[in-house]
Structure 1
Amino acid sequence: MKRDNINAMSAPQPRGGYSQAVSIENFRRLLFVSGQVPMNSNDVVPEGFEAQARQVWLNVDAQLRAAAMSKADIVKVTTYLADRHHLVANREIRNDYLGALAPAMTVVIAGIFDSAWLLEVEVVAAQ
């Protein structure tokens, strides 16, 4: 698969570990991961934003592994935050997980389905 991160010089430059666009060619398959919520396999929701964000990324990672993929295959991330005050912590934890990978990204401040959940993350991966 050929993957290119695109950041047009005539538009705002990304800040914080993402690309304005990601182009993929010659891929075999796409995986669309539904919004992953901050709940473990025992239906326990951790307390606090940082713990919930780490749980969400563990859940994303579990879905990728189940599809024989890894975080290196992520090309798009959409994050729904219950409160904009979590923007910095969200970026730090997301960057811890993604490392140097810079997928296309959108962050939305939204009402989340369950009021106990502080975020939800969906991804698109390609191989």
Structure 2
Amino acid sequence: MKRDHINALNAPQPHGGYSQAVSIEEFRRLLFVSGQIPVTSDEVVPEGFEAQARQVWLNVDAQLKAAGMTKTGIVKITTYLADRHHVMANREIRNDYLGSHAPAMTVVITGIFDSGWLLEVEVVAAQ
């Protein structure tokens, strides 16, 4: 798969581990991962934002692995946060998971389906 990270010089530059645009060519398949929630496989919601965010990324990773893919295939992330005060912690935990990988990304501050969930993350991956 050929991947190009695009950050136009005459537009705002990305800050925090993402690309303004990602172009992919010569891929075999796309995987659309539904919004992953901060719930463990035994239906426990971790306490606090950091624990919930780490659980969400464990769940994303589980879906990718079930499809025979890894985080390096992620080309787009959409994160829904229940409160803007979680923006920096979200960035730090996301960057811990992604490392130097920089997909296209959107973060939305919104109400979440369950009031106990502090975030939800959906991804698109390519292989």
TM-score bracket for this pair, using the shorter chain length: over 0.9
For 2:102 and 2:85, the matched residues in 1 are separated by: 23
For 2:78 and 2:7, the matched residues in 1 are separated by: 18
For 1:71 and 1:28, the matched residues in 2 are separated by: 16
The Cα RMSD (Å) is: 0.2
Q: Which runs of 4 or more aligned residues in structure 1 lie more than 2 Å from their structure 2 counterparts after TM superposition? A: none
Structure 2, unmatched stretches of 5+, are none
Aligned residues: 127
| Residue of structure 1 equivalent to 2:26 | 26
Q: TM-score, normalised on structure 1?
A: 1.00
Equivalence map 1:1-127=2 (5 Å): 1-127=1-127
Q: TM-score, normalised on structure 2?
A: 1.00
Where 2:69 maps in the other structure, the secondary structure is coil
For 1:122 and 1:98, the matched residues in 2 are separated by: 14
Where 2:8 maps in the other structure, the secondary structure is coil
Structure 1, unmatched stretches of 5+, are none
Where 2:68 maps in the other structure, the secondary structure is coil
Task: Give how far 1:126 is off.
Answer: 0.1
